């Protein structure tokens, strides 16, 4: 679903970080969402980017996203900081729920930099539920860490700026398994948490990646894709993604990141065995084999039947 929305407010939250408040043009309620959800923001320059929702799911009058100005920006965060202003109309797609927040007896939240955005509504929800939780928030410099006052008002909050108090004490934080751990931040942080939480029970670690995990290249083989709803069959050559081949054939599929991290191209699998290469599905979800992300994933069988 694509929705035109108005930029109501931009707020300087920390060095290089602004929050953007978005409301519907007609003043109606925004679509419901859960902590961990993100939207795809389609900017007036045609570029689209994914941003986690970091306001309150109970406030349906607006959405809030946090945007860090990335010095290597290819037109997304740079545009938001330099050109986006209150009163402008942009479009959003979603919300999408790849980083699902589920009930647990206790939570450990770990955030690095702008990775605090999906974690903030989760911490708020845990506080409302009255479930024990702890948040460790790391950043390069204290002045670049957004939403600190809001977090401090919520409860047990550990602040770790490399220029003041040092790095996140991951060994200590992850020593004893307790409930669920939710982590968002740059790749080195995610890798360190994956290593440090290797002794936690299966299914307790939940990660959200901004970028695909580095992995060794795998050989691509051609695959026949039967699109059940459209009654069409597409031969996907080895040098083209399944998503691209379906788009080229004029089939109704949607893509955004094309890197297996945003979830836009999520597609139901009706037959065949997917070769999952995304960074969204858990091991259990991958083993079920009932959905795939065709921008990166292919097939372990010579044929796939998709709900397209």
Site of interaction with ligand FES (CB under 6 A): 255-258, 260-265, 293, 295
Return the number of the residue (57 or 263) whose C-beta is nearest ligand FES: 263
Least distance CB 252 / ligand FES (angstroms): 14
Least distance CB 274 / ligand FES (angstroms): 13
Sequence-separated (6 or more) residues with CB below 8 Å from residue 270 = 228, 305, 306, 307
Return the number of the residue (190 or 291) whose C-beta is nearest ligand FES: 291
Check whether the bond before 134 is cis (ω within 30° of 0).
Answer: no
Return the number of the residue (222 or 255) whose C-beta is nearest ligand FES: 255
Least distance CB 38 / ligand FES (angstroms): 11
The secondary structure of 130-193 as a DSSP string is T--EEEEEEESSGGG-TTHHHHHHHS-EEEEETTTT-S--HHHHHSS--SEEEEES-HHHHHHH
Return the number of the residue (155 or 255) whose C-beta is nearest ligand FES: 255
107: nearest Cα among 120, 90, 117: 120
Return the number of the residue (178 or 258) whose C-beta is nearest ligand FES: 258
Query: What does the block give as tokens for 144?
Result: 């670049």
Least distance CB 260 / ligand FES (angstroms): 5
Least distance CB 294 / ligand FES (angstroms): 7
Q: Are 303 and 272 in contact (CB under 8 A)?
A: yes
Which is it for strands 223-227 and 232-236: parallel, antiparallel or unpaired? antiparallel
Q: Are 133 and 119 in contact (CB under 8 A)?
A: no
Least distance CB 262 / ligand FES (angstroms): 3
Q: Are 21 and 51 in contact (CB under 8 A)?
A: no
Instruction: Compute the distance between CA of residue 168 and CA of residue 157 in angstroms, rounded to an integer.
Output: 12
Least distance CB 2 / ligand FES (angstroms): 15
Return the number of the residue (11 or 288) whose C-beta is nearest ligand FES: 288
298: nearest Cα among 234, 248, 205, 250: 234
Q: How many CB atoms lie within 10 A of CB 221?
A: 13
Return the number of the residue (66 or 260) whose C-beta is nearest ligand FES: 260
């Amino acid at each position: 679903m694509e929705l035109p929305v108005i930029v109501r407010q931009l707020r300087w939250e920390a060095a290089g970080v602004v929050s953007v408040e978005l409301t519907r043009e007609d003043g109606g309620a925004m679509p419901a969402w859960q902590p961990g959800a993100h939207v795809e923001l389609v900017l007036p320059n045609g570029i689209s980017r994914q941003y986690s929702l970091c306001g309150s799911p109970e406030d349906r009058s607006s959405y809030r996203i946090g945007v860090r100005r990335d010095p290597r920006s290819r037109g997304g965060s740079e545009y938001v900081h330099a050109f986006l202003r209150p009163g402008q109309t942009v479009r959003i797609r979603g919300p999408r729920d790849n980083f699902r927040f589920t009930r647990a007896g206790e939570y450990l939240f770990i955030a690095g930099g702008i990775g605090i955005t999906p974690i903030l509504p989760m911490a708020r929800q845990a506080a409302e539920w009255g479930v024990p939780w702890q948040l460790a928030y790391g950043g390069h410099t204290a002045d670049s860490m957004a939403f600190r006052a809001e977090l401090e008002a919520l409860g047990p909050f550990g602040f770790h700026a490399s220029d003041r108090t040092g790095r996140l004490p991951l060994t200590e934080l992850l020593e004893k398994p307790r409930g669920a751990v939710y982590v968002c931040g740059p790749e080195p942080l995610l890798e360190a948490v994956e290593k440090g939480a290797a002794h936690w029970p299966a299914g307790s670690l939940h990660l959200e990646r901004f970028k695909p995990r580095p992995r060794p290249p795998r050989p691509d083989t051609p695959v026949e894709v039967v699109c059940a709803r459209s009654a069409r069959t597409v031969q996907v050559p080895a040098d083209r993604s399944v998503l691209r081949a379906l788009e080229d054939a004029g089939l109704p599929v949607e893509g955004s990141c094309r890197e297996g991290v945003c979830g836009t191209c999520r597609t139901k699998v009706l037959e065949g065995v997917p070769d999952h290469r995304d960074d969204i599905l858990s091991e259990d979800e991958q083993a079920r084999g009932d959905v795939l992300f065709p921008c990166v994933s292919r097939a372990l069988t010579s044929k796939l039947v998709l709900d397209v």
